[in-house]
Chain A
Amino acid sequence: MNIGYSMLITALFLVVIGIYIMAVKRNLIRILIGLEIIATGVNINFIAMSLLKSQSLLLDPLPHAIVITSILLDGALIGVGLALTLVVFRKYRTLDVDYLRRLRW
């Protein structure tokens, strides 16, 4: 039980750190790293919940399946994100997101 709670707290920290990075940093790659940290936190959260919910030693396989799927999708997501970053860098010669403001409206 205790390990479940400590995992929950870790997950919370990871999410908060990720959001902090995304809110503060201006470099696109750092923002992507922040996104990945959030994703990791959410995955740990899932596992922690499955630990807390399970009554016996037998674990519910569904959260694990979901987490594995989520990790896979993360890989795809980061691939697309890095590709976009590459395109942005080629176009603007910078990774500063504030320069991308001209894309609004």
Chain B
Amino acid sequence: MLPYAPWLIWVIPFIFAFLHPIFEKISHKLRDFMAVLAVFLSAIFAASMIPDVLRGYAIINGVKMELPIDLKIENWIPIPKGAIEVGVLVDPLSVFMANIVGWISFLIMVYSIEYMHGDESITRYWMLMNFFVGSMQLLVIADNLLVMFFGWEGVGFASYALIGYYYKDEEKYWIGPYPPSHCGMKAFVVTRAGDIGLLAAIVIIYLYSGTLNFTALSSDVSWMASLAKNGLLAITLILLFLGPIGKSAQFPLHIWLPEAMAGPTTVSALIHAATMVKAGVYLIARIIPILYIGYSALGELVHHDLIIFFLVVAWIGGFTAFLAASMGMVADQIKKVLAYSTISQLGYMISILGVSGLLMEESHLFVESYMAGILHLYSHAFFKALLFLSAGCVGHAIGSYLLKDAGGLKKYLPKTYFVMLIGLLALSGVPPFNGFFSKDSILHSLYVSKEYPLMILLAITAILTVFYSFRLLGLTFFGELKVKHHSEHHEHLHDPGPYMMYPLYILSIMTIIGVVFMPFLHELFHPLFHGVLKLEVESIHLPEFIATTFLSPLILLTVVIIILGLYPSYLLYITYKIDYKSLTERFTLLRVLWKFLYERWFINTLYYKIFVNGFLFISRGIFKYIECNGSGSFLKSVYTDFSDAVRRIQTGYFRVNIIYVLIGFLILIIITLMLGGAI
């Protein structure tokens, strides 16, 4: 570990974020370089912690410390019954997340040098991006729920500001009927709805445990016992889960993520691949070991509540995966398809983490499904960054993200086509890309844990995933070139330059050989399972890992999934053998289904009807009947009469004002003398 690595990974981006206005005055090149350097340093510091985690101990100031290492400022702000502490926690999960965040963000930052080149307010962009990365690193490395919540809100703010980056609302940045500033506000408000639950849960946990520190919460689980005795455990945990529901865009609050496409594509990539939406998955992965310890210590007392909680988590995740995948099949924008696929993949992760909680009695299944979620997070980070950045290349070339403007680009953007194909193959779980292995391990752990309904749901989702992946590929790169008549764009119709292509190459290499690192990730998490949870975990080696994946009967399921998804997509969108437009005209059912999915199951419309229009209705009513006619007019007359009377004494002559000052002094002196007893 480099000195102070756990602190510096989030402090450096924060500091650099506020220095960019100064760098801009010196040189624009320096500012761009510094922005990338900040994230690079953060990633280097994060990577320097990996060896410590693998060894299981770290040497800090000459003292050997066992994992998990909790470095904190004790009694930072004393409050009744304890203190607010700020600290960092070095354990497998936080180091894993910090590396994912750091390295993916670094590649995205390199990409944005070229992508954002020439933007007029790029200083703001770099500031917010560095702030975003810093908040996310704070979130993942924080050692207690409160500091984590600070990072959580910082991420929320940065995403709001970056989604609404094009705040002038030019027509070309609109997502459907919504301008970018509206989209940013929507993301902020919707995630805030979840954060209320998270904050409530944090307060409840603090009231019962007297601490918010993760290690303290797991070393003394009596708080769980007292919560369970009062019948509050399941409710508290579900409130806590509301935070991830909002942040990771799960079912009731998933509506903000498709609109989050209004920002620059790099921002979408950052939100989807590394920061923001992964925060929810991280929080669940963080509390599951604590709950496991609680379960093994308290047993029957908390069993019932935990089962309720994990069932909720698993099924909300599974349902979201299906819901978003179904919407992704009809989305009309490249980035929107990818946004739905993110929601869907997050659903997979959350679902499998929930399932791992259901399997606490059988430790090897628990470990396997927990690791399946982690592996999917890992592979999703790479292929989703790859997909978004290559979508950015397409948008860069044709100047639009609408699927109806794309088409036939394969000849003009061969490199982009190639990297996007890799990303989509990984997304649809085709071997040997990393998405296949992680998705297969999810399905495998669902299979061995006999969660068949969830498994069928997720398998159907996988079929839909394959379908919309290749629909995206076909509509973008195959068929006729539609951008021809935009002659001013035609000369841009080529692959982007090296700053944009090299991150894509690195990401595609990581997507192809991602499986190599999966046994290594198992190794990385040993201190968690072996050290903290006291479980017997066997090491997995790469050939063994690949062999078990390919030799299990589930490989047949994967083949069926790919064929069922690929075949209709191939006919409809890649070879255009069947005209998909006439298909919807011929079958009423398909048309109705298309409308239903295109309107996003009418959930979005419903929310707008209830919350937006309802709020406007109430506030207009208040304005009309209370402010204009009722007590408001009375108050208004009182205020105007009073101020009319008072303003007479303000002559505007300075010497008169001085006299008022003197009168004030006189009164002050008299009061002082009276209080002193002189008068």
Residue of B nearest to A34 (CB): B658
Binary interface profile of A, 67-105, with partner B (CB < 8 Å = 1, else 0)?
A: 000000000000000000000000000000110111111
Determine whether B651 belongs to the interface, using a CB cutoff of 8 Å to chain A: yes
Minimum distance in angstroms from B662 CB to a CB of chain A: 7
Known: A19-B662, A23-B659. A105 touches B654 (CB 8 A): no
Pick from B647, B651, B652, B658: contact of A22, CB under 8 Å: B658
Pick from B652, B661, B662: contact of A103, CB under 8 Å: B652
Minimum distance in angstroms from A62 CB to a CB of chain B: 21
Determine whether A11 belongs to the interface, using a CB cutoff of 8 Å to chain B: no
Interface centre among A23, A26, A105 (most CB of B within 10 A): A23
Chain A residue contacts of B654, Cβ below 8 A: 22, 26, 31, 97-98, 100
Q: Is the CB of B652 within 8 A of A101?
A: yes
Q: How large is the interface on A (under 10, 10 to 19, 20 to 34, 35 or more residues)?
A: 10 to 19
Q: Provide the bound-state CA to CA distance between A24 and B661, in Å.
A: 14
Pick from B653, B658, B659: contact of A98, CB under 8 Å: B653
Determine whether B25 belongs to the interface, using a CB cutoff of 8 Å to chain A: no
Q: Provide the bound-state CA to CA distance between A22 and B650, in Å.
A: 17
Interface of A is mostly: helix
Pick from A23, A26, A31, A104: contact of B651, CB under 8 Å: A104
Q: Is the CB of B650 within 8 A of A104?
A: yes
Residue of B nearest to A28 (CB): B654
Chain A residue contacts of B655, Cβ below 8 A: 22-24
Q: Provide the bound-state CA to CA distance between A36 and B288, in Å.
A: 66
Interface centre among B647, B651, B654, B661 (most CB of A within 10 A): B654
Known: A23-B655, A24-B655. A105 touches B662 (CB 8 A): no
Q: Provide the bound-state CA to CA distance between A30 and B27, in Å.
A: 44
Q: Provide the bound-state CA to CA distance between A105 and B650, in Å.
A: 8
Minimum distance in angstroms from B648 CB to a CB of chain A: 10
Chain B residue contacts of A104, Cβ below 8 A: 650-652
Q: Is the CB of B647 within 8 A of A23?
A: no
Q: Is the CB of B653 within 8 A of A105?
A: no
Chain B residue contacts of A105, Cβ below 8 A: 647, 650
Q: Provide the bound-state CA to CA distance between A17 and B654, in Å.
A: 16
Chain B contacts to A: CB under 8 angstroms: 647, 650-655, 658-659, 661-662
Give 27 CB contacts A-B under 8 Å. A19-B658, A19-B661, A19-B662, A22-B654, A22-B655, A22-B658, A23-B655, A23-B658, A23-B659, A23-B662, A24-B655, A26-B654, A31-B654, A97-B654, A98-B654, A100-B652, A100-B654, A101-B651, A101-B652, A101-B653, A102-B652, A103-B652, A104-B650, A104-B651, A104-B652, A105-B647, A105-B650
